[in-house]
């Protein structure tokens, strides 16, 4: 029988094939919706990856896994024998691929790092899709809810717990001015900060010294707010320009 003959093409639309495809579709739809739930929090906070990214990751992961469960229906069920499949190999490939996607949303500028939570949640979204694909629907729903709850509420919990604010600072001094680290350290202490050990990076360009370092608050309520810190740095002796940012985002 020719592979393009009407009878051969009808095999792909047999009752069993259509029923199997509908079941796969239900899995994909469920994975897409669960991905939307997780992605909404990131979208709400203006992150690069939003509902579409999470939905697609979750749905694609489910698609790659769910078809492994129906080898007898591959190619219209025309295979000589159902293939012996190992879903763990597919899962390993998904996890590896998602690792590259997650790395793409992690951004580093100096001492400031952002995107770590987004990368971790994209990885969790692929795990949700995998759970849907292998039929662990309740576990997939619970993982989606836990992931969304974690991203929405844990940041508030972190705000209640004792913590130390880390501020990445870049200071560029006027040409010919020689800054002193001990003077800077004392100035930081009076404002409730200490210089993080091992964070200093010093450069020179056109006779101007540039210092980059991280200042860590001595306690949650001790550190001067970053807006006030910026005003005070503007009048610091010898400073030509400066830049402040939270070291962790």
Which element (helix H / strand E) includes 114?
strand 112-114
Label residue 1 by pLDDT band (50, 70, 90): low
Check residue 151 and give its pLDDT: 82
* Residue that terminates a domain, selected from 103, 138, 160: 160
Cβ(98)–Cβ(123) under 8 Å? yes
Residue range of the domain that includes 77: 6-160
Query: Are the C-beta atoms of 188 and 195 separated by less than 8 Å?
Result: yes
Average pLDDT score over residue span 55-61: 89
**From CA 10, how far away is CA 8, in angstroms rounded?**
5
Report the pLDDT value the prediction gives residue 228, as an integer from 0 to 100. 86
Residue 106 belongs to a domain? yes
pLDDT tens digits, 68-102: 887 777 767 665 555 556 777 888 888 888 888 87
Residue 29 is predicted with a pLDDT of 93
Contact at 8 Å (CB) between 204 and 172? no
Say whether both 74 and 140 belong to one domain.
Answer: yes
Q: Which helix (H) or strand (E) holds 13?
A: none
Same domain, 230 and 173: yes
My answer on whether 120 and 18 are in the same domain is: yes
Q: What is the DSSP string of 177-235?
A: ----HHHHHHHHHHTTEEEPTT--EEEEETTEEEEEEEEEESSTTTSPPHHHHHHHHHT
CATH assignment at residue 238: 3.30.70.260
148-189 pLDDT per residue, tens: 888 888 777 767 777 778 888 899 999 888 888 888 888 888
Asked if 88 and 127 sit in the same domain, the reply is yes
**Whether residue 41 has pLDDT greater than 90:** no
């Amino acid at each position: 029988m020719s592979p393009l003959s009407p009878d051969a093409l009808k095999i792909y639309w047999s009752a069993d094939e259509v029923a199997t495809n509908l079941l796969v579709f239900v899995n994909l739809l469920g994975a897409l919706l669960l991905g939307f739930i997780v992605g909404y929090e990131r979208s709400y906070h203006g992150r690069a990856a939003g509902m579409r990214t999470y939905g697609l990751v979750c749905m694609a992961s489910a698609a790659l896994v769910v078809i492994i469960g129906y080898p007898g229906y591959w190619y219209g069920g025309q295979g000589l024998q159902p293939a012996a499949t190992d879903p763990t190999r597919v899962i390993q490939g998904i996890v590896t691929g998602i690792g590259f996607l997650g790395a793409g949303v992690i951004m580093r500028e100096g001492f400031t790092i952002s995107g770590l939570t987004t990368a971790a949640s994209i990885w969790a979204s692929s795990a949700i899709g995998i759970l849907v694909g292998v039929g662990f629907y309740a576990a997939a729903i619970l993982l989606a809810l836990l992931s969304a709850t974690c991203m929405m509420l844990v940041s508030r919990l972190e705000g209640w717990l004792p913590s130390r604010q880390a501020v990445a600072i870049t200071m560029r001094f006027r040409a010919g001015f020689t800054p002193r680290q001990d003077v800077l350290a004392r100035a930081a202490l009076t404002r409730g900060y200490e210089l993080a050990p091992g964070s200093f990076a010093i450069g020179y360009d056109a006779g101007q010294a540039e210092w980059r370092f991280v200042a860590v608050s001595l306690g949650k309520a001790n550190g001067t707010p970053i807006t006030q810190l910026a005003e005070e740095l503007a009048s610091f002796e010898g400073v030509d320009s400066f830049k402040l940012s939270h070291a962790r985002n």
